[in-house]
Structure 1
């Protein structure tokens, strides 16, 4: 594992401060605002170009082209008038006046439409006025007199020269008018083509600008956000792989640089904590080694206590008893009492040493964890306590008992101590009644799995709630040895056995009369029924 010396992380400034520069949000906000302004300008230009093209198109299609058509209709109407007058003047027949009269009506209609279309254009208005004047002159000098004359032929012959001159002038005015309108229409057509070209150019430029903005935004995001994030992710992966000495380089906008500094500071703290953890682990290894050595010494001490210490005690008791038998006649009652005290003390010392050895061996010897049937353990325990049960007349009952996971020998010691205590501390004059129950529960500890809660209740003398904790302390007694025998180690041994199995044991202070001990044990790991033989 790679670690580096823990260094004080530099003080970080709030992301986005003036000294740090612009943040990602600042860059995105400024870029978005600039793009929005540019798009608004381009949109305005595009709208103007479209409006201009539409106006030019309307000028061509709604004004000058219809004006030219109206001028042509007006010319046709005047020609029809001239043809009708000439025919009427030559033949004197009234049916030749119909084309003339229709032409007069058509001329008026065409003149009105032409006036509406050319309104506002001085030259077109002047051309129309000149045509109307020339038409009125021809009407006054030729058309009306001939059409109203009693002798149309003679009248037409008299006005042939003047009528021809007047109509030629009218025809010249019409030609000039149509030439001017055609010129305006050609200019409008040229303007429309120019507007279309401008429109295509502007929209092409807008498309190019939009594409350039997209490319610029992509390049900016890649350079300003994606690449710094990729570098930061690569650095973090280096650290996640265990290379805690790898320094994280800060790059990109201010907030990403601040993030990189924070992550690097976290790396330094983790490196320091790992270094501390390594030192602590080394110390724990040393302590574990020392603890193993101490346990080995304790094992040696237990061997000495079980053999070398008990042997002198047995000799003391044996020789005191031999002394009493050999010199019985020479010893008075006081001497015999002293010898009895010495023998009893030696026996109690042997028993105490045996109990201490049993207490120290919990979890170290006979630790054969397996699935154990509690009913089988209970039957074996009652068989072991058969003489005591028979003498006291105790009645032991139980509910259906499950299988648990643990050491069968230690579980037997647990039940034996609880049942023997219930028999020992019975109410005088009453038959001891002991009942064992079991109920399932889900342990709250994470990963502990399902457990069983057991309860051993009796009708004995009971224990006060104030002694609920004291009774599980080794060598703590609530009665004198003269009242109840024992060394005060049985419940402490029960607590150590239950805790070795990962459970808890306690006194039910609300139970009355008598005593009720409650303890928990892990459920069996196999669903199949457990073999009831206990080795």
Structure 2
């Protein structure tokens, strides 16, 4: 249909161009040739009349200066005749009339005018007769001039008729082209509705059925190849969405199962924590108590090795109690201790310094800290964090100098970065990651007490608050720990 419409437009354009060209040619012939030729004929008549009047005046008066109209008329006749031949080029009939006119004018000048102008005057009566003879001879010229003018008038009338016919044909052609174009547009509209819009409507209805939730509804596209291809692509997308939904459903079911398993695991962990905090510690306390009772009651009976064995038993039970307590503390992070509230770190540091006051006094430790900010978090966990960091800084002191701890706080884009530096024995960089693993120790128990869980608790506390902790490798005269804490609560920032 589009090809047919293009051909129709091309044929209509060709016909319209031809009709317009014909109309323009007829109009141009009238305007540029026939009408100017009639005007030239009028001018030619005036030039011939000037010749007649000049001849009459000369013949009657005999004065040479009165021949000027004759000479100018003859020159004008030649110029106008040349102009007429240019205008009437290709007009055979009109050129024949013009040739006859020129011949008649030439005969008039040769047989009548020239003899009168060159002959001897024989008196007034002869001059009058000569003038009358010249006028009678000029009547033939005027007859030829009238015939040329009549021929031009007839050509003008035929030209006007041809122009009217050409305009009529032009109007009929353009009206026919317009009607054909309207018919073609109407046909295209019908075809679009039948071939394109109707299949698109059925495809849209099917898509809305799928969008309403019936994902198993299959699409059966019909119509042109492009619409059918689009329908198949949409159906393929529906199939992929169905597969994705099935996969997501399975993943959701698996996630729910894992969530149930995690819930059961957390329940078991809470049960274990209860047992560890009560049932397991009770036998350990009995073991330690009875061993100490044996040591006091039978001290005079037991030898040195027996005393040593009892000491080992008491020490083992005591360390087991500490390990259980540390494990309980570690497991409660994020589960029991999970509040989010503004915490003034200055108050936290004062509590930690009071707790470590005896150790600080005994070692002569000095703690330099600026005014610390208020952060969001759990007060108990943040107290554990600072107590472990400051306690380690004092515990792992250098034997040749008293402990000196420096605390630095810096804010950056809603996050506080804290650095705790000391001048103690330091930590090798090769153990930078190992020190944050639970129960990992770098020194023998006889030299430094503890269970090796302090830095693991620090790491878990910091990560629970959305921060990170690391060993600062740029500090060499001792150890330096750098960690981050959010300035505000996460959901408060989001709001």
Give the TM-score, by structure 1 length: 0.76
Measure the CA separation in 1 of the matches of 2:406 and 2:199.
Answer: 72
2:261 to 290, 294, 314: 290
- Once the two structures are superposed, the pairs formed by residues 489-508 of structure 1 within 5 Å of their partners are 489-508=453-472
**Structure 1 residue 410: Cα displacement:** 0.9
2:123 matched to 1:151? yes
1:373 to 335, 344, 354: 344
* Matching residue of 1:407: 378
CA spacing shift, 1:394–1:87, aligned 2, 3 Å = closer
Number of equivalences = 487
2:415 matched to 1:417? no
* Matching residue of 2:410: 439
**Structure 1 residue 395: Cα displacement:** 1.5
CA spacing shift, 1:441–1:262, aligned 2, 3 Å = farther
* Matching residue of 2:325: 354
Q: Contact between 2:44 and 2:77, CA under 8 Å: does it hold in 1?
A: yes
* Matching residue of 2:397: 426
Deviation track 1:449-472 (CA, whole Å, cap 9, x = no partner) reads x32222222222222222222222
2:443 matched to 1:471? no
**Structure 1 residue 370: Cα displacement:** 0.9
Bigger mean CA deviation after superposition, 39-48 or 425-434: 39-48
Measure the CA separation in 1 of the matches of 2:416 and 2:400.
Answer: 34
- Once the two structures are superposed, the pairs formed by residues 174-323 of structure 1 within 5 Å of their partners are 174-201=145-172, 244-245=215-216, 247=218, 258=229, 261-323=232-294
* Matching residue of 2:95: 125
Deviation track 1:333-377 (CA, whole Å, cap 9, x = no partner) reads 333332222222222222222111111111111322111121211
Measure the CA separation in 2 of the matches of 1:504 and 1:99.
Answer: 124
CA spacing shift, 1:520–1:135, aligned 2, 3 Å = closer
2:360 matched to 1:389? yes
Q: Contact between 1:88 and 1:152, CA under 8 Å: does it hold in 2?
A: no
**Structure 1 residue 316: Cα displacement:** 2.2
**Structure 1 residue 326: Cα displacement:** 2.9
* Matching residue of 1:63: 33
* Matching residue of 1:335: 306
What root-mean-square deviation, in Å, do the aligned CA atoms of Structure 1 and Structure 2 show?
A: 4.2
Measure the CA separation in 2 of the matches of 1:417 and 1:287.
Answer: 35
Give the TM-score, by structure 2 length: 0.81
Q: Contact between 1:495 and 1:504, CA under 8 Å: does it hold in 2?
A: yes
Unaligned runs of 5+ in 1: 1-26, 443-449, 527-535
Measure the CA separation in 1 of the matches of 2:461 and 2:57.
Answer: 145
CA spacing shift, 1:438–1:253, aligned 2, 3 Å = farther
CA spacing shift, 1:373–1:253, aligned 2, 3 Å = farther
SS of residue in 2 equivalent to 1:459:
coil
CA spacing shift, 1:202–1:330, aligned 2, 3 Å = same
SS of residue in 1 equivalent to 2:397:
coil
**Structure 1 residue 194: Cα displacement:** 3.0
* Matching residue of 2:452: 488
Measure the CA separation in 2 of the matches of 1:346 and 1:253.
Answer: 86
CA spacing shift, 1:441–1:226, aligned 2, 3 Å = farther
SS of residue in 2 equivalent to 1:435:
strand
SS of residue in 1 equivalent to 2:376:
strand
Bigger mean CA deviation after superposition, 192-201 or 387-396: 192-201
**Structure 1 residue 475: Cα displacement:** 2.0
Measure the CA separation in 1 of the matches of 2:255 and 2:130.
Answer: 144
Deviation track 1:308-344 (CA, whole Å, cap 9, x = no partner) reads 2212222222222223333333333333332222222
SS of residue in 1 equivalent to 2:459:
helix
SS of residue in 2 equivalent to 1:334:
helix
**Structure 1 residue 142: Cα displacement:** 4.9
SS of residue in 1 equivalent to 2:484:
strand
* Matching residue of 2:493: none
SS of residue in 2 equivalent to 1:364:
coil
Measure the CA separation in 1 of the matches of 2:27 and 2:287.
Answer: 136
Q: Contact between 2:221 and 2:227, CA under 8 Å: does it hold in 1?
A: yes
**Structure 1 residue 173: Cα displacement:** 3.5
Measure the CA separation in 2 of the matches of 1:267 and 1:173.
Answer: 95
Deviation track 1:390-417 (CA, whole Å, cap 9, x = no partner) reads 2222212213322221100011111111
Bigger mean CA deviation after superposition, 39-48 or 356-365: 39-48
Q: Contact between 2:291 and 2:314, CA under 8 Å: does it hold in 1?
A: yes
